[in-house]
Amino acid sequence: MFNEPDYSGQKVAAKVYEASQGFVVKAGSQAVGESVPSMQQHVRGMYDLRQELIANGVLVQEGSGYRFTQDYPFSSPSTAAAVVLGRSANGRIEWKDAKGRTLKELQEAEAGR
């Protein structure tokens, strides 16, 4: 399958990998400093998880954003992308490998083999 796709945009760079425990964001990955106002209203669970990770020291402030202090598993690529980007996100299209292929493209290619 794919190995460590990443989303590099909105002034953040994050690395992820799939593991048995879920979709894991690697230690050292960045997250945006501020979530969009609508996140709290429309994707409350993801907003609350982001706030919990900040409160628990998994995300620590670094410059104008945040940095993951440890590898952290998420239940889905979309939840991981939403926490990193501070907004609702479709992880299957946000996460890309070094060649720019989306997670969706990589999964479809793997399923077609």
DSSP letters, 30-89, are: EE-SS--HHHHHHSHHHHHHHHHHHHTTSEEEETTEEEESS-EEESSHHHHHHHHHTS--
pLDDT above 70 covers a percentage of the chain that reads 89
pLDDT of residue 25: 95
Name residue, tokens 């969009």: 36
In a domain, 16, yes or no: yes
Q: Which domain holds residue 74?
A: 6-101
**pLDDT tier at 3, thresholds 50, 70, 90:** very low
User: What is the per-residue pLDDT across 5-23, written as a single tens digit (0 to 9) for each?
Assistant: 555 555 688 999 989 989 9
**Predicted TM-score (pTM) of this structure:** 0.88
Q: Is residue 112 part of a domain?
A: no
Identify which has the larger pLDDT, 109 or 4. 109
Query: Token digits for 113?
Result: 């083999």
106 within a domain of the structure (yes/no): no
Lowest mean pLDDT among 3-7, 17-21, 54-58, 66-70: 3-7
Confirm whether 108 is domain-assigned. no
Give the confidence band of 106 by pLDDT, cuts at 50, 70, 90: confident
Q: Is residue 113 included in any domain, yes or no? A: no
In a domain, 110, yes or no: no
35 falls within a domain: yes
Q: What is the largest CA-CA distance in the chain?
A: 44
Residue 26 lies in a domain: yes
In the predicted model, what is the mean pLDDT of the chain?
88
> How many other CB atoms are there within 10 angstroms of residue 98's CB atom?
11
Q: How many domains does the chain have?
A: 1
Check the CA dihedral 42-21-67-85 and report its sign. Answer: negative
Are the CB atoms for 32 and 100 separated by under 8 Å? no
